Amino acid sequence: MIRNIVAAALLLGAATPCAFAAALELEAKIPLGDVRGRIDHLAVDPGRQRLYVAELGNDTVGVVDIKERKTIRTLTGLHEPQGIAYESSTDTVYVANGDGGSVRGYRGANLDPLAPIALGDDADNVRIDPDTHYVWVGHGRGALAAIDPDSARKVADIRLQGHPESFRLDPDGSRIFINVPDTGEIAVVDRKAGKQIAAWKTAPLNASYPLILDSASTVFAVFRHPARAAVFAKTDGRLLQAVETCDDSDDVSADPKRARVYVTCGAGFVETFVRDGAGYRSTGRVTTSSGARTSLFVPELDRLYVAVRTQGNTAAAIWVYRPQD
Q: Are 135 and 171 in contact (CB under 8 A)?
A: no
Bridge partners for 147 per DSSP: 135, 154
- Digit-coded pLDDT (tens) for 151-175: 999 999 999 999 999 999 999 999 9
At the fourth CATH level, which superfamily is domain 16-31+207-325? YVTN repeat-like/Quinoprotein amine dehydrogenase (2.130.10.10)
Cα-flanking dihedrals φ and ψ of residue 102, to 5°? Answer: -90, 160
List, in sequence order, every beta strand (DSSP E) within 88-142: 92-97, 102-107, 112-113, 117-118, 126-128, 135-139
| pLDDT for 215 | 85
Q: Report the distance separating Cα 60 and Cα 78, nearest Å.
A: 6
| pLDDT for 19 | 43
The Cα angle at residue 304 between residues 302 and 308, in degrees rounded to 5: 155
The reply to whether 16-31+207-325 and 40-201 are identical in fold is yes
Helices then strands, each counted (H, E), the chain: 1, 29
Q: What is the CA 108 to chain-centroid distance, rounded?
A: 24
Which of 225, 213, 291 lies closest to 253 in space, CA to CA?
A: 213
Q: Kindly report the average pLDDT of the chain as a whole number.
A: 93
Q: Report the distance separating Cα 120 and Cα 74, nearest Å.
A: 25
Q: Are 85 and 135 in contact (CB under 8 A)?
A: yes
Q: What pTM value is reported for the model? A: 0.94
| pLDDT for 278 | 75
- Digit-coded pLDDT (tens) for 141-153: 999 999 999 999 9
Domain boundaries, the chain: 16-31+207-325, 40-201
Tell me the longest C-alpha to C-alpha distance in the chain.
56
Q: CB-based contacts of 313: which residues, under 8 Å, 6+ apart?
A: none
Identify the helix (H) or strand (E) that includes residue 30.
strand 24-31
pLDDT tens for the chain, residues 1 to 325: 334 434 444 443 444 444 445 699 999 999 999 999 999 999 999 999 999 999 999 999 999 999 999 999 999 999 999 999 999 999 999 999 999 999 999 999 999 999 999 998 999 999 999 999 999 999 999 999 999 999 999 999 999 999 999 999 999 999 999 999 999 999 999 999 999 999 999 999 999 999 999 988 999 999 999 999 999 999 999 999 999 999 999 999 999 999 999 999 999 999 999 998 879 999 999 999 999 999 999 999 999 999 999 999 999 999 999 999 8
For domain 40-201, say whether CATH 2.60.40.10 is its number: no
Q: What is the CA 171 to chain-centroid distance, rounded?
A: 17
